[in-house]
Amino acid sequence: MAYTTVNGTALHYEDLGAGRPLVFLHGWGTSGRVWDAQAADLMADHRVITLDWRGCGRSERPADGYTISGLTGDVLRFVDALGLDRPVLIGSSIAGAFLVEAALAAPDRLGAIIPVDAGIHHFSGLRDAMDKLLADLRADRAGTLADFVPHWYRPGASTAMIDWTVRQLLDSTFRIDRLVVDQAGYDPRDRMASLLVPTHFLHGELDTEVPLSVPRELAALIPGARLTVIEGAGHMSQQDQADRFTAALRAALADLP
């Protein structure tokens, strides 16, 4: 197992293969393991790096840093710590916000960003719903996650896969809930015209957490951005339709400058 210390926190990562560096970032409370299918395929001709961000997976669980700004800082420091030359950042769900902020802050250090099923600004108008989620998590974390997580997947998805996702969330620190608060006030749309890093959205056709209207709107705001829809996939499209997703990701990578 590999670790590097970033902003005072030991972060766990897997580093596989050789070639153009791809850094995979998981969504809220899960881990780099959500990218297992993609890592197994892409490591044949890319350098595949899956990162557990602070508080999740096998990384350390400090008391602070659980904001979009804080996690973005971790990602950029991680890129520097590994000496990566203009990597492609690929981020699921809330990690899409980390990608956007990293691209705005350090465009010369990144090769491209690929947000996956990313809500970005979607939750900024849902303060009441976010407050209710926080209250439910505090009252019954296990029960709330058991009810919440199945909606991340398409109908008929594997029960074992859903249960594994719930376990990852329960194993992460409750401090990640600070991101729910942060996301409820996050809306970068007025800055999208200045995002000049090549951007390609991948989004599940059946995503009920983040509707397709979100990446469509953002792709129209970002110069040159593109969108690929993953047929038959929900919010966790990289797991929900792994083969289709990996093929779409390969096509997106091939299309990058």
SS3 state of residue 6: strand
Predicted confidence at residue 1, as pLDDT, reads 75
Alpha helices in 57-177 (DSSP H): 68-81, 95-105, 127-139, 141-148, 159-171
Q: What order do you get walking across the sheet with 88-92 strand by strand?
A: 2-6, 9-16, 46-51, 20-25, 88-92, 112-116, 200-204, 226-230
**pLDDT tens-place string over residues 188-231:** 999 999 999 999 999 999 999 999 999 999 999 999 999 999 99
Tens of pLDDT, residue by residue over 226-238, are 999 999 999 999 9
pLDDT exceeds cutoff 80 at 174: yes
Residue 27: per-residue pLDDT: 98
Q: How far apart are CA 22 and CA 112, in angstroms?
A: 10
Band of pLDDT at residue 171, cut at 50, 70 and 90: very high
Count of CB atoms situated within 10 Å of the CB of 208: 13
Q: What's the whole-number mean pLDDT along residues 69-89?
A: 98
**Tokens linked to 257:** 């400058």
Kindly indicate the confidence band of residue 125, based on its pLDDT and cuts at 50, 70 and 90: confident
User: What whole-number distance in Å separates Cα of residue 242 and Cα of residue 233?
Assistant: 9
| Average of per-residue pLDDT across 147-168 | 97
Q: Which domains does the chain have, with CATH numbers?
A: 2-255 (3.40.50.1820)
How confident is the model at residue 126, as a pLDDT? 87
Per-residue pLDDT band at 127 (split at 50, 70, 90) = confident
pLDDT tens-digit profile of 95-121? 999 999 999 999 999 999 999 999 999
Phi, psi of 203 (to 5 degrees): -150, 135
pLDDT value, residue 106: 98
Share of the chain above pLDDT 70, in %: 100
